[in-house]
Chains A and B, each alone.
Chain A
Amino acid sequence: MKKNYLILFVFLCLLPNYLLSQVVDNSVPQELIDTTLSHDKEQLQTAKFYSPFGMNLLSNFVSNISLSSAFNQGENGKVELKYNDNWLTIGLMADQKISSEASEATLLGLQGLSPGTTVGLSLQKLFWRASVSNSSFNNFQKAKESYAARNNIKDPRLLTYQEILSRGNETERKLVRNIMLRSPFFVNVNYAITKTSHTYVSDSTSLLETSREHLAPSFSVSVGMPLNTGEKFNSYLAFGYNYTVSYASGNEVTLISPFGTSGNFISQDIVFGEPVRQSDNIVNVEYRSNIKVATNNDKSVFLGIAPLASYSFDTERLAISLPVYFINGVTDDGKPTGLQGGLRIGYLTSTQSGEFSSLKEGLTTQLIVSVPFDVFGNLKQ
């Protein structure tokens, strides 16, 4: 119930942005973006390399609200609003890091973005050279004439390639089989800004803590294409490049000091040194596939997998993640319905020494719950 309120709150925070801009939508890659506070190094490492939830190299096609949990490391609430027109998807995204102790998530405060918030704008364009060559088109006309004559088709203009391929005789199918029906491909560009907050000590004598906030930008570009052509295809392959800026906190130490003259001691965890600005260049390869696993009340139920490999040239680290989503049916017009749940398994290792991290050290898991919704009513695909 508490998470439901958090999701609703995140959505309400973002609504003014939508009303002001009237442009919307989707996902900005989160890989390697530091959305954590400076006190938790393990959390920092995880957040730097794994998209908390949602899509990676390509935009979501449907507006949604989602919540992911990295178990004891807190949750992320995320809203994606999108608008599709003329094969261009314009998207706006907001992602709020919620610590494990937080009772509410605040995207926008009086001074702008709250720490732990990422906002992003994305543009995704579909390119499609759909027309077939003259010789292929002429072969199709020949096949149609033959098929229509055999079957007494009144208006052969209505016949399609797949109809000939599935019901034509061998000669007709042969004429159509070699026609290249090109699929579209997608180009996606994202820009995002993450606000981070760091508390640290720079003076070892006074141990006075200082808090500073930073805006860390991220830019990415990716290209995605369907893998197979023809009747049987349901998977994508995407390649991407990502430039990110992040702020790495200093070393955390534990100070033990006497508590007055009581003879007792107290301990205090502090971070020494200012956060260091780092830039990173990352390449990504992502495969995505929907596998039909069942039919529920005439609706297909899909298992979606989207393995992603990312390599950082600057920090020489390799990240592999395997999100598995359960898509609980789609409507007659192809839109997902109900809650979409999933699990993301990730593995992070340094490649500097030539030795990979053990599974125990490098493995992370996240739970994902997403609610697709159509905020515009005229959602088009």
Chain B
Amino acid sequence: MEIIVETKSEGGHLVLYVHDTVNDKRILILRDNAAGRIMLTRGVKYRFEWRVWSLQSASYHIYAEVVPSHPAFPLFDWPEEFQEALYKEAHNDGGGFYFTL
């Protein structure tokens, strides 16, 4: 089982982490416009976290899915499907959640 993540950033900076909380280790780091995948282990608690920052307007998009699909991680499409998060001015934001397969 693995997680596939894709990030897009225009005008600002984005960083995304997948953190293994059991071993206290970042297993995936993506910056700005990037794509990556990493194997996940059942029963391990993961932390999915992202941050966005810019001194000007910027837009971002994050897409993530677990294959094969798993009810503990429904398809993730931020801010929403086929949309980009648009920040019109300087910003410093982010989000995240825990998940266990």
Q: Mark A225-240, 1 if CB is under 8 A from B, else 0.
A: 0100111111010000
Decide: A137 and B47 in contact? CB cutoff 8 A: yes
Knowing A137-B47, A290-B55, the reply to whether A158 touches B15 (Cβ < 8 A) is: no
User: A137–B17 Cα gap in the complex (Å)?
Assistant: 13
User: A381–B86 Cα gap in the complex (Å)?
Assistant: 15
Decide: A233 and B95 in contact? CB cutoff 8 A: no
Decide: B49 and A333 in contact? CB cutoff 8 A: no
Of A160, A232, A333, A334, which one neighbours B95 at CB under 8 angstroms? A160
Q: Judge if B91 is at the interface, Cβ distance under 8 Å.
A: yes
B57 vs chain A, min Cβ distance (A): 5
Residue of A nearest to B14 (CB): A130
| Residues on A with beta carbons closer than 8 Å to the beta carbon of B94 | 130, 132, 160-161, 181
User: A131–B48 Cα gap in the complex (Å)?
Assistant: 10
B99 vs chain A, min Cβ distance (A): 8
Q: Judge if B51 is at the interface, Cβ distance under 8 Å.
A: yes
Most chain A CB within a 10 A radius of its CB, from B33, B53, B79, B91: B53
Decide: A137 and B91 in contact? CB cutoff 8 A: no
Interface residues on A, range: 35 or more
Decide: B13 and A157 in contact? CB cutoff 8 A: no
Knowing A181-B51, A229-B92, the reply to whether A130 touches B57 (Cβ < 8 A) is: no
Residue of A nearest to B80 (CB): A158
Decide: A232 and B90 in contact? CB cutoff 8 A: yes
Q: Judge if A86 is at the interface, Cβ distance under 8 Å.
A: yes
Decide: A234 and B12 in contact? CB cutoff 8 A: no
Q: Judge if B6 is at the interface, Cβ distance under 8 Å.
A: no
| Residues on A with beta carbons closer than 8 Å to the beta carbon of B93 | 160-162, 181
User: A87–B10 Cα gap in the complex (Å)?
Assistant: 13
Decide: B32 and A226 in contact? CB cutoff 8 A: no
Of B57, B92, B97, which one neighbours A330 at CB under 8 angstroms? B57
User: A140–B51 Cα gap in the complex (Å)?
Assistant: 13
| Residues on A with beta carbons closer than 8 Å to the beta carbon of B86 | 332
User: A333–B76 Cα gap in the complex (Å)?
Assistant: 23
B95 vs chain A, min Cβ distance (A): 4
User: A157–B51 Cα gap in the complex (Å)?
Assistant: 14
Decide: A231 and B91 in contact? CB cutoff 8 A: yes
Knowing A158-B78, A162-B91, A333-B58, the reply to whether A128 touches B96 (Cβ < 8 A) is: no
B66 vs chain A, min Cβ distance (A): 13
Q: Judge if A74 is at the interface, Cβ distance under 8 Å.
A: no
Decide: B92 and A230 in contact? CB cutoff 8 A: yes
Q: Judge if A338 is at the interface, Cβ distance under 8 Å.
A: no
Of A128, A131, A158, A234, which one neighbours B53 at CB under 8 angstroms? A128
Decide: A334 and B78 in contact? CB cutoff 8 A: no
Knowing A137-B47, A137-B49, A233-B55, the reply to whether A335 touches B11 (Cβ < 8 A) is: yes
Most chain B CB within a 10 A radius of its CB, from A132, A162, A290: A162
Decide: A181 and B92 in contact? CB cutoff 8 A: yes
Q: Judge if A155 is at the interface, Cβ distance under 8 Å.
A: yes
Decide: B95 and A130 in contact? CB cutoff 8 A: no
A88-134 interface (Cβ within 8 A of B): 126, 128, 130-132
Q: Judge if A251 is at the interface, Cβ distance under 8 Å.
A: no
Most chain B CB within a 10 A radius of its CB, from A158, A161, A335: A158
Decide: B32 and A380 in contact? CB cutoff 8 A: yes
| Residues on A with beta carbons closer than 8 Å to the beta carbon of B79 | 158
User: A292–B17 Cα gap in the complex (Å)?
Assistant: 33
A289-311 interface (Cβ within 8 A of B): 290, 292, 300
Q: Judge if B56 is at the interface, Cβ distance under 8 Å.
A: yes
Q: Judge if A270 is at the interface, Cβ distance under 8 Å.
A: no
Q: Judge if B74 is at the interface, Cβ distance under 8 Å.
A: yes
B35 vs chain A, min Cβ distance (A): 13
Cross-chain pairs A/B with CB under 8 angstroms, 13 sampled: A87-B13, A87-B31, A128-B13, A131-B49, A132-B49, A157-B78, A183-B53, A230-B92, A234-B55, A234-B89, A292-B89, A381-B12, A381-B13
Residues of A at under 8 Å CB distance from B?
Answer: 86-87, 126, 128, 130-132, 137, 140-141, 144, 155-162, 181, 183-184, 226, 229-234, 236, 290, 292, 300, 330, 332-335, 380-381
Given contacts A131-B19, A232-B90, A380-B33, 11 further A-B pairs with CB under 8 A are A130-B15, A130-B94, A141-B98, A181-B51, A233-B92, A290-B56, A292-B89, A333-B59, A334-B11, A380-B9, A381-B32
